[in-house]
Amino acid sequence: MTTNERYVLFLTMMSHGLCHVFVLIFPAVLGLLVQHFMPGPTPEGLSRMVLFGLGEGSVFSRELWGGYSILTVVGTVGYAAFGFFAVPWGWLVDRLGPVRVIRIFILGAGLSMGLIAVSPSLVMLAVGMFCLGLFAGAYHPSGLSLISLAVTERGRAMGYHGMAGNLGLGLAPFLAASVAAALDWRWTYGVFALVALTLGLASFLLPIRVERRPQSVNPGPGPNPAGWRSLVAPALLILFGVAIFNGLAYRGAMTFLPTLFESNFRYSLFGLNNLAQAGMLATIVLLVGIAGQYTSGRLIDRVGGERIVLAAAALGLPFLFLMALTTNLWLMAVSLGFAFFHFATQPAGNYLLSVYTPDEKRGLGYGVYFSMIFGMGSAGAALSGWLFDWWGFEVLFITLSGLFAMAGLLALCLVLRRGRAARGAARPDKG
């Protein structure tokens, strides 16, 4: 690995881990946000939303939706921006270069978290979440484009990149919940705002070079499309479908993972209060995803990305389903199993996107891909809040299991398509 590739991995791994920390602060402090903004029978702060026609007796009043429903809608504002703005950010990556866009992400996210930390009302909280999602949406198109263009061993590099993301995912609930429990949820956002701004300024010291190399595009049987047509190739559209259903299941599960442990894990560990303990357990679960990322990254070049996505979805499905039906140590065990297999799908999906798209459309391709995962998938937060308020954890996680099963069925289509292409290539020419 060259010095330039080491710089690339350092910047992308640090940025990826922090990106997920920034986004996962919200579910870690969700209960505190409900208590702060909606302490009474009618959510405090909704009376200030006259501009939007919201208030007591409206469809957004607590009597009809519940506090978690309303706050998860606020979270969905950020998650939707996180996903859907990935497309214009991807377009900018192809024009400004991935390194510049990564720096914009880090500095913009830091300023946005500062805004959230001082937000006086539910409206300003939503504005801050939107800005955070807007800038956080820049990372995945830029970071993965940088790896695919500047690192030779893409499969292994994407495995390491995914591991860093999972480290951020794993540490976020515990760190955020611990700071919030000791101080306040505002301090949690304020501390990470300072971390982001520090890394953003330090990134200007890294002399990273990006050189576009010829790259084969092989999206399935038939001739390889080029340019804009490569973004509507059949296999790529199927991969986008996998991303949508995977994103819905992922966002719903991650939004309620700490809350699930608060409710259904009834042992007391290390003298922690319920909030900090739930954050610690969610951290352990998410850290197990590092092993899934590593295993996937090591197998991609030998097994193929399509097979890894299918196997991980099929093996992870029963664990997600059982999260609805178990408590205490059994809940911990099945959560660990789901985390391992779910996160194993990510390096494989990222790798397939780099195979299915040409260099000149790589940023836009990743933008569309992550708009499917995080943009379309952002509805999983609002859906999960609504399901939880009306029917509880059982119906919520059974529904998420159905969405994850759809991702598996579409992954099967990719495997069958790849097999048909391989058989066609092996068939002798009768002409």
What is the tens place of the pLDDT at every residue in 84-106? Answer: 888 899 889 888 889 999 999 99
The answer to whether residue 290 is domain-embedded is yes
Which of the listed ranges 34-48, 112-126, 202-216 does the model predict with the highest average pLDDT?
112-126
pLDDT, tens only, 60-71: 333 334 456 677
Per the structure, the complete domain to which residue 81 belongs is given by 3-421
The structure's pTM equals 0.72
What average pLDDT does this structure show over 177-198? 88
Q: How far apart are CA 3 and CA 315, in angstroms?
A: 38
Q: How far apart are CA 270 and CA 38, in angstroms?
A: 31
Q: What is the pLDDT of residue 73?
A: 77
The conformational region for residue 119 under phi > 0 = left, psi -120 to 50 = alpha, else beta, is beta
**Cβ–Cβ under 8 Å, residues 203 and 313:** no
Q: What is the pLDDT of residue 217?
A: 46
% of the chain beyond a pLDDT of 90: 25
**Reported confidence tier of residue 59, pLDDT bands at 50, 70, 90:** very low
Listed range (43-52, 268-277, 383-392) with the worst mean pLDDT? 43-52
Domain count, the chain: 1
The answer to whether residue 429 is domain-embedded is no
Give the distance, in angstroms, between the CA of residue 248 and the centroid of all CA atoms in the same chain.
Answer: 10
Length of the chain: 431
Q: Nearest Cα to 347, choosing from 295, 406, 282, 401?
A: 295
Top pLDDT among 269 and 134 is at 134
What average pLDDT does this structure show over 213-219? 47
The answer to whether residue 428 is domain-embedded is no
CATH of the domain at 267: 1.20.1250.20
The answer to whether residue 114 is domain-embedded is yes
The answer to whether residue 427 is domain-embedded is no
The answer to whether residue 81 is domain-embedded is yes
The answer to whether residue 430 is domain-embedded is no
The answer to whether residue 431 is domain-embedded is no
What average pLDDT does this structure show over 285-309? 86
Phi, psi of 221 (to 5 degrees): -65, 150
% of the chain beyond a pLDDT of 70: 84
Q: Nearest Cα to 249, choosing from 68, 364, 331, 372?
A: 372
